[in-house]
Amino acid sequence: MKPLRLCFATFLILTACPYSSFAADLAADDLPLARSGVGGFVFCPASANDQPVPLYVGYCKKHQVGTLNCGEQVEVLSREADMLRISLGETGPRGQRRTNLVPASAISRQSDKFVPFDNESVPERSPDCSQMLARENAPDGFVFCSRGQDSAPVYHSACQSHAADGLACGEKVGVLGRHGDMLQVTVPPHGFPRYMEASAVSQQASKFVPFDDASGIEDKGAPDCSSGGPTFGAGGGLHSGTAERNVTMPRAIFMPDPEYTELARKKKVSGVIVLWLTVGVDGKTHDITVDRGLGYGLDEKAVEAVSRWRFTPALKDGEPIERRINVEVNFRLY
């Protein structure tokens, strides 16, 4: 029997890859040269004893990169809460303006006395730190592989048809959210948001525990891949180990489809569950275990369906034998 594989329609995504949490924060430090600001002066009160003013990069997670001397002139571009974004006239490697952050209380509109930069003097900006904070607080997950595999595929988007990379079995990832049968994860070492099949990421490293509703991970629903998104075959696929001399593998002759759970239907979960089972000399299945699951009650439905499958048994030298195999059970919403 030819295995029925998980397949995707081709879909081209024209989008830039997300930055790491640190790099995304630093992106605001490089601005087009066309942007102009307002002149300002580094102000040090008498109580500061001419101590230099700290100079930062980043906003959501500031990193000190230097200092400014009292009275030094700067160009103020915007106000961001209690910080001012300034330019010292430097440019980056691609010709973009290099900017930094300094405390708003340390920059004055006049050199002889402190006149603050308020919202009327420079524009107010409020960078969104929610994505970076979500990445930093994401719960740990572990790459879980089917037997015989040493890695699991990683995708740039939830609708991508071809894997962009792979992660080794057992590798730790951060789990940001669930999108149907896909999980959005942060991939080490840079924390790039990527997507993996939900059945390939476990809450525990030692055994497969899915990230379902009980895990506390938000399910944002199946992605809209209407322009060529994922489609999944019904039924299941049969896989076996290395071929042996004079051995004929089991062949499925009765394969009733699994039932959907109401929760999985509501969440629009689709995907593939991998099961290991033994086909007896009578063609019946037993000792069924879940190798890779989807959660939402679909694992139990897959086991229930496969327990009713019937096979012609494996043969060795023409005699029926028991044989351990693994099968794919495909769930698809029409």
Tell me: pLDDT of 15 over 60. no
- Residue-wise pLDDT for 197-253, tens only, equals 888 999 999 999 999 888 888 888 887 765 433 332 333 444 444 445 566 778 888
Of 215, 244, 274, the residue at which a domain comes to its end is: 215
- Give domain status of residue 11, yes or no: no
* 65, 110 Cβ separation under 8 angstroms: no
Whether 123 and 142 map to the same domain: the answer is: no
The average confidence (pLDDT) of the chain is: 77
CA distance 181 to 268: 8
Furthest C-alpha separation in the chain: 100
For 91, the domain range is 21-128
Q: Is 46 exposed, middle or buried (0-12, 13-18, 19+ CB in 10 A)?
A: exposed
SS (H, E, C) the chain: CCCCCCEECCCCCCCCCCCCHHHHHHHHHEECCCCCCEEEEECCCHHHCCCCEEEEECCCCCEEEEEECCCCEEEEEEEECCEEEEEEEEECCCCCEEEEEEEHHHEECCCCCCCCCCCCCCCECCCCCHHHHHHHCCCEEEECCCCCCCEEEEECCCCCCCCCEEEECCCEEEEEEEECCEEEEEECCCCEEEEEEHHHEECCCCCCCCCCHHHCCCECCCCCCCCCCEECCCEEEEECCCCCCCEECCEEEECCCCCCCHHHHHHCCCEEEEEEEEECCCCEEEEEEEEECCCCCHHHHHHHHHCCCEEECEEECCEEECEEEEEEEEECCC
- Give domain status of residue 44, yes or no: yes
Out of 51-65, 220-234, 315-329, pick the least confident.
220-234
Sheet strands side by side (includes 235-239): 235-239, 323-331, 271-279, 285-292
- Give domain status of residue 99, yes or no: yes
Whether 118 and 151 map to the same domain: the answer is: no
Whether 70 and 96 map to the same domain: the answer is: yes
Tell me: pLDDT of 133 over 80. no
CA distance 207 to 80: 46
* 40, 108 Cβ separation under 8 angstroms: yes
- Give domain status of residue 8, yes or no: no
pLDDT confidence of residue 165: 74
Whether 53 and 29 map to the same domain: the answer is: yes
Whether 101 and 149 map to the same domain: the answer is: no
pLDDT confidence of residue 233: 30
CA distance 36 to 245: 77
pTM above 0.85, yes or no: no
Instruction: Please identify which residue in the block is written with the tokens 């489609």.
Output: 231
* Top-ranked range on mean pLDDT: pick from 98-107, 146-155, 189-198: 98-107
Whether 178 and 261 map to the same domain: the answer is: no
pLDDT confidence of residue 141: 93
- Give domain status of residue 7, yes or no: no
Q: Work out the average pLDDT over 51-67.
A: 82
Q: Report percent pLDDT > 90 for the chain.
A: 23
* 288, 334 Cβ separation under 8 angstroms: no
- Give domain status of residue 16, yes or no: no
pLDDT confidence of residue 136: 72
Q: Work out the average pLDDT over 53-74.
A: 84
- Give domain status of residue 14, yes or no: no
- Give domain status of residue 3, yes or no: no
Q: Which of 253, 239, 252, 246 is nearest to 324 (CA)?
A: 239
Whether 244 and 271 map to the same domain: the answer is: yes
Of 128, 161, 182, the residue at which a domain comes to its end is: 128
Q: Which of 277, 283, 291 is nearest to 252 (CA)?
A: 283
Of 100, 128, 156, the residue at which a domain comes to its end is: 128
Instruction: Supply the CATH number for residue 295's domain.
Output: 3.30.2420.10
Whether 65 and 91 map to the same domain: the answer is: yes
Whether 277 and 183 map to the same domain: the answer is: no
pLDDT grade for 95, boundaries at 50, 70 and 90: low
pLDDT grade for 115, boundaries at 50, 70 and 90: very high
More confident residue, 9 or 298: 298
Instruction: Supply the CATH number for residue 200's domain.
Output: 2.30.30.40
Q: Report percent pLDDT > 70 for the chain.
A: 75
Domain count, the chain: 3
pLDDT confidence of residue 149: 81
